[in-house]
Amino acid sequence: MTTLFRLACLCLLALAAGCTTAPAARPAARPPLLLVSIDGFRADYLDRGHSPALEALAREGVRGQGLEPAFPSLTFPNHYSLVTGRYPDHHGIVDNAMSVPGLGRFTLGNREAVGDGRWWDEAEPIWVTADRQGLKTATLFWPGSEASIHGHRPDYWLPYDGDMDYDARVDRVLHWLDLPPGQRPAFLTLYFEAVDSAGHYEGPQAAQTNQAIAQVDRALARLVAGLKQRGLYDHLNLIVLADHGMADTPPAQRIFLDDLVDPAHVQVVSTGAIAGIIPAPGHEAEVAAALLRPQPHMQCWRKADIPSRLHYGHNGRVPPLFCLAQVGWLITHNPGTVLHHGKAILGEHGFDNADPRMRALFVAHGPAFRAHARVPVFPNVDVYPLMTHLLGLRPAPNDGRYADVAGMLAPAAR
């Protein structure tokens, strides 16, 4: 049978089945990839002795000396950098809080905004990349996964529920892996927030933070046991990482914007380790003069003057004036707004991403990864091209460099 005749037969069969176009070619079958985020797990937390399951994964597989977050070292910007390979300036989630004409107000707690794809569509997350190329995906609480982005969603996803038990989260991922081959996702995510919450409210050195580390580690042990029971432990690629680290922020170390500018003359978009400020019309020069002069424990810039090494300040969502606190200090409004939900913030992130306290966890294990390997600190935008390589996907445009992380893979997987 000639090649042309075979092609003609295939086309006739497709038409008979009601298809008008040939199905998209799927990448060759590869081991599934599970991406786990432990929010706020600073790189050196792994050495505290409270995470035996995670330590075992690190010993057997790849341990990074640290993962450098993108700037600003905040939760939503960095979770989106991890799955797009783009700096926040390029993917559009430039802060945990944003205010944009025509879109409105974005905050972590604004569920309507979080689920609005217009906030997320300046880049393409890996579940969209995978869906375009014929792979199924499942996300458990990854920022961005609640929205339709470029018309795509994960095949399986849940709206964020911070009250969902960690065992139940693990069991949901294992359930997805139990699905029949035609329904089983090739890429999955899993998310835990306890370490970040404890670091904020108790401080990174607190006993409660160590307890949160142990809590998440028990969930990881349950995951590993479930993978072993299914014969997947050595046949699934697992990446466990964090979005950022955490620094101590003693209550006395606060910078009060109200002491510097008239609150009636500014819109303060965000506060914390960073502050984004929009001067009121007619007060631009006054507000800029007040903020741009030398400030103790804080540096402010016009957005165009933010240091280039931060890869930040060119996106239209970055406010015209931008301030960065010295590590350990927080920018806020006045003494009456220092508390968050009635508690002092004793730990924070969002600071200069080059500071070692902002470095995040990175551990990888599976058939594609080298055994007993240690790798130096690398930027988290490199995780996306690493993952698309593992899944056999053509990556979307990104800022990462696969060549910089290829060395962590076994020779046959490079």
Would you call 137 a catalytic residue per the annotation? no
pTM for this model (two decimals): 0.91
Looking at the DSSP assignment, which residues form a beta bridge with residue 279?
266
Which one is catalytic: 75, 129, 139, 249? 75
pLDDT reading at 17 higher than 90: no
Higher-pLDDT residue of 236 and 343 is 236
Architecture of the CATH domain 254-345? 2-Layer Sandwich (3.30)
Distance CA 137, CA 128 (A): 9
Pick the CATH number of 33-248+353-413 from 3.40.50.720, 3.30.70.20, 1.10.3720.10, 3.40.720.10: 3.40.720.10
What pLDDT does residue 334 have?
Answer: 76
pLDDT, tens digit (0-9, with 9 covering 90-100), for 364-391: 999 999 999 999 999 999 999 999 999 9
Residue 5 confidence (pLDDT): 36
71-96 confidence digits (pLDDT tens): 999 999 999 999 999 999 999 999 99
User: What's the mean pLDDT in 124-153?
Assistant: 97
Residue 344 binned pLDDT confidence (cut-offs 50, 70, 90) = confident
109 pLDDT band, cuts 50/70/90, is: confident
Looking at residue 18, what is its pLDDT?
A: 36
Q: What pLDDT score does 29 carry?
A: 75
Residues 287, 330: contact at Cβ < 8 Å?
A: no
- pLDDT 10s digits, 293-321: 999 999 999 999 999 999 999 999 999 99
Q: Give the sheet arrangement for strand 373-375, strand by strand.
A: 156-158, 137-140, 187-192, 33-38, 237-241, 362-365, 62-64, 373-375
What are the extents of the domains in the chain? Answer: 33-248+353-413, 254-345
**Res. 166 pLDDT band, cuts 50 70 90:** very high
Has residue 399 got a pLDDT over 90? yes
Q: Supply the pLDDT for residue 4.
A: 37
Flag whether pLDDT at 254 surpasses 50: yes
Q: Can 33-248+353-413 and 254-345 be said to share one CATH topology?
A: no
pLDDT at 338 over 60: no
Tens of pLDDT along 192-219? Answer: 999 999 999 999 999 999 999 999 999 9
pLDDT at position 8 is 39
pLDDT at 333: 86
Which tokens is 189 given?
A: 């995510």
CA distance 45 to 61: 18
Contacts of 166 (CB under 8 A, 6+ apart): 192, 194, 215, 216, 218, 219
